[in-house]
Structure 1
Amino acid sequence: MIFPFHFHWMNCLINMQLYLTTLFLVIWVNVAAPAALSGCSGPLPNVPNAEVTDESRKNEYKEGYIIYFSCNFGYITAGRTAYVCEKKKWVSLRKGKCSPKPCELPDEIANGHYTIQDGEDFVFGATIKYTCNDGYQMVSKSDTRTCLLEGWSNHLPVCEVVSCVPETTDERVDVRGIPDDSAPILFGHELSFSCPKPEHQLKGNPQVVCAAGGRWNSRFPTCEDVTCKVGEMHNNLIVKGSPQNNGTMKYGDKLLLECSNPNHILHGESEVVCSTNGHWSHPFPLCSERTDVCGPPPILNNGDTVHRKERYRNGESVEYECQKYYVRSGQSHKTCRNGNWVGQITCLEPCTVNKQLMAERNIVFAFWTEDPNKLYSEHADHITFKCTSNTHPSPDSVGYRQQCLNGFMNLPQCQ
């Protein structure tokens, strides 16, 4: 075992040996060297991150002169660097190393993290940047800290939870999701909007989410009056009474339509109503000359005829069937009447629930399905969901068991 005072004496012996060696070189150069060796006139040695000390710097350097180097600002030395002028060249006596001054490991912050912005390690001149986690926002003036001689600059940044303030809406809009107890609306919270009265339609996004920085991901929607445009009609079709073509109708307004030529037959509904979302209840009819023959049967959206031909006699019918997952509503056939196809058939749309939709709401199917990533549910069918692990129903969520209604299904929300 080496005691501290032994270590001290060993250092003294090493420094004495270096001193005697340097002294010998100086004496030898000044006494034994030829007079022709006048000194070193070339550039000084290049030592990384160091400069010649002011005490060592001269206008000219004679044989045997020793120069010393000191580390630049922000660097610390590991051994001193010295060169001696010998035979007009600089010869290294001792090679030290200047390394950037290190800083202690940076402090962590609550609800955030840091990354190195400039530099590769926690040393002098390096800069780190703090970033808040999702759902939190920076409230400090500075989000960076730099390693200086005395340590890290600036105070630790602070991240506070993000909250959003609801925008003002009029009495037409129904908003769901606002906390009843006036609690803050936190990051990720969703508000749902609808227009409860059928004479109004929603303009804007039906769902708005509290996003980063306490801002909503979109403006709050509004409820506007439902209107329907008359537009252009078939040349032989007229409206009983007002309005005239290109007029604008409101929700619930009706148009009574007839053929301008009494010898023509009206194909379609004689009355159309301005209904939800600005659509007419039925397509505008057409007028044609009377005939006892019908052409090809009309196309059924999301369905097709069982058997099809190009001409049908008066009184003949054609069967329709809906595509897979679609449910037929109304009659199963249309009949040729005086050259016009008569009969109401609709194929009600299925609902599609896929993995992405459920992941956004933290839900899964409560029961096993053939394809756990995607499910088609026919009109009027019910699906039961459940929350994923470690989540529970949101306060404003609908129930777990939901019904498909012509392509639309409410989904529960878990958090």
Structure 2
Amino acid sequence: MKLYLTLLCLVNVGALNALSVCSGPLPNVLNAGITDESKKDEYKDGAIIYFACNFGHVPAGKISYVCEKAKWVIIRRGKCSPKPCELPDETAHGHYTIHDGEDFVFGASIKYTCNNGYQMVSQTDTRTCMLDGWSNHLPICEVVSCVPEATDGRVIVSGLPDDDTPIQFGHELKFNCPKPEHQLKGNPQVVCAAEGKWNNPFPTCEDVTCNVLEHSDVNVKGVPENNDTMKYGHRLQFECRDPKHILHGEAEVVCSKNGQWSHPFPLCNERKDFCGPPPTLLNGDTVGAKEQYRNGESVDYICQQFYTPKDLSHKTCVNGIWKGEVTCLKPCTVNEQLMAEQNIKFAWWTPDPNKIYCKHLDHVTFACTEGKRQTKDSVAFRQQCVDGIMHLPRCQ
């Protein structure tokens, strides 16, 4: 007798259906989103979804996933990249930098800046990479211009254009006061700087005024009683308070340019009947000098060989002070090496053809060496010595 065993298997159909559904979050694709056609409430095993690039991005291959055993498995691994823009145009007298973003792609923006001395005349200085290229017009940079400031009638301005031409960046104006009784207060020149502003305020011409200096041992005539300002041309006179003293310096001074007196204020010293040894003379010597001289006595000077005295050749003792200006003017040296460098020689009619030294105001005549001619920019062949300086002609 045979026995049969029957097994009954109860299958949970709902559980099987749950295992074949992708119920988790959809794949996250950079710069892309699931297409409308792929959107469903439920994705069963084998379901395929497709992705499209976001606005402003372009695809590089298709992107798709399949639901497999309740998981999303990639089928095609494309990608979406921001749409690129062409290199932006350069603007004259300016430059651009990336303002937002890292490359010239959709959404990135650039900012234009004008070079130094130029200013932006466009309302917008930025451009953004859009689907159809760069937004806005190319910004324009124009040279900066400055407007002259008003001046009074005392100031003379040099450098202003003759017409209404704008004064551009870098242009310089110069100022001066033509009348000696006025002095310039401020910078004598200004320059049109960046942003259309002058680098310094315009100067003015102010009245020249002088102040009274210290004068403890002298009486001064001409100082205003009400302490009014002493202007250009004002004169002061001096005399010693002690009649036994001697005034050393100028008895009258004048208020001159730049608020300076024409001479230092004088001093008063006691009368002296004697002077000490005479002062030494550069390039000269005294003749028979003594240790002491009375008022009115003089000492003679002689210049060294080839040096020439200018005007006076003596000094005089006046109230204990040596008066008189003695100067020895320098000779000129003309040697063979200097003449060889210039391709010149002494002319045959020179009194001394071997002359090397010549005194102040002496004349020397030169000539070209054989085979040479005087250059166009050369000085004349006949030259004069003036206090140690003589210009030499040149031949080549």
- Residue in structure 2 matching 1:103, options 85, 88, 91: 85
Partner of 1:118: 100
Partner of 2:220: 239
Partner of 1:272: 253
Listed as ranges, the matches of 1:212-291 within 5 Å are 212-231=194-213, 233-243=214-224, 248-290=229-271
The question of whether the paired residues in 1 share the 8 Å contact of 2:222 and 2:235 is answered with: no
Give distance in 1, aligned partners of 2:187 and 2:96: 36
Residues 35, 281 of structure 1: alpha-carbon distance in 2 compared, 3 angstrom cutoff: same
Give distance in 2, aligned partners of 1:45 and 1:337: 116
The question of whether the paired residues in 1 share the 8 Å contact of 2:256 and 2:262 is answered with: yes
Residues 242, 66 of structure 1: alpha-carbon distance in 2 compared, 3 angstrom cutoff: same
Following TM superposition, by how much is the alpha carbon of 1:277 offset from its aligned partner in structure 2, in angstroms?
1.3
Please give the per-residue CA displacement for 1:352-395, whole angstroms capped at 9, x wherever unaligned. Answer: xxxxxxxxxxxxxxxxxxxxxxxxxxxxxxxxxxxxxxxxxxxx
The question of whether the paired residues in 2 share the 8 Å contact of 1:187 and 1:214 is answered with: yes
1:80 is paired with a residue of what secondary structure? strand
Give distance in 2, aligned partners of 1:245 and 1:235: 20
- Residue in structure 1 matching 2:141, options 153, 159, 176: 159
Following TM superposition, by how much is the alpha carbon of 1:248 offset from its aligned partner in structure 2, in angstroms?
2.7
- Residue in structure 1 matching 2:177, options 184, 190, 195: 195
Give distance in 1, aligned partners of 2:36 and 2:201: 67
Partner of 2:123: 141
Give distance in 2, aligned partners of 1:98 and 1:66: 19
The question of whether the paired residues in 2 share the 8 Å contact of 1:145 and 1:153 is answered with: yes
Compare 193-202 and 95-104 and name the one that shifted more.
Answer: 95-104
Partner of 1:74: 56
The question of whether the paired residues in 2 share the 8 Å contact of 1:119 and 1:127 is answered with: yes
AA aligned opposite 1:236: D
Following TM superposition, by how much is the alpha carbon of 1:37 offset from its aligned partner in structure 2, in angstroms?
3.5
Following TM superposition, by how much is the alpha carbon of 1:286 offset from its aligned partner in structure 2, in angstroms?
3.6
1:76 is paired with a residue of what secondary structure? strand
1:96 is paired with a residue of what secondary structure? strand
Partner of 1:176: 158
Give distance in 2, aligned partners of 1:136 and 1:260: 68
1:120 is paired with a residue of what secondary structure? coil
1:156 is paired with a residue of what secondary structure? coil
The question of whether the paired residues in 2 share the 8 Å contact of 1:230 and 1:247 is answered with: no
The structure whose Rg is larger is 2
Partner of 1:93: 75
AA aligned opposite 2:243: P
Following TM superposition, by how much is the alpha carbon of 1:191 offset from its aligned partner in structure 2, in angstroms?
1.9
- Residue in structure 1 matching 2:29, options 39, 44, 47: 47
Following TM superposition, by how much is the alpha carbon of 1:78 offset from its aligned partner in structure 2, in angstroms?
1.2
Following TM superposition, by how much is the alpha carbon of 1:197 offset from its aligned partner in structure 2, in angstroms?
0.5
Partner of 2:167: 185
Identity, % of aligned positions: 70
1:99 is paired with a residue of what secondary structure? strand
The question of whether the paired residues in 1 share the 8 Å contact of 2:275 and 2:322 is answered with: no
Give distance in 2, aligned partners of 1:106 and 1:84: 42
- What are the ranges of 5 or more consecutive residues in structure 2 without an aligned counterpart? 1-12, 284-290, 302-309, 327-396
The question of whether the paired residues in 2 share the 8 Å contact of 1:229 and 1:247 is answered with: no
Give distance in 2, aligned partners of 1:121 and 1:64: 40
Residues 174, 137 of structure 1: alpha-carbon distance in 2 compared, 3 angstrom cutoff: same
Residues 174, 36 of structure 1: alpha-carbon distance in 2 compared, 3 angstrom cutoff: closer
Compare 332-341 and 131-140 and name the one that shifted more.
Answer: 332-341
Compare 199-208 and 237-246 and name the one that shifted more.
Answer: 237-246
1:170 is paired with a residue of what secondary structure? coil
The question of whether the paired residues in 2 share the 8 Å contact of 1:63 and 1:85 is answered with: yes
Using structure 1 for the length normalisation, give the TM-score.
0.57
Equivalent pairs, count: 291
AA aligned opposite 1:262: P
Using structure 2 for the length normalisation, give the TM-score.
0.59
Residues 46, 262 of structure 1: alpha-carbon distance in 2 compared, 3 angstrom cutoff: farther
1:277 is paired with a residue of what secondary structure? helix
Please give the per-residue CA displacement for 1:236-283, whole angstroms capped at 9, x wherever unaligned. Answer: 233124236976310111222333333344444332221111122233
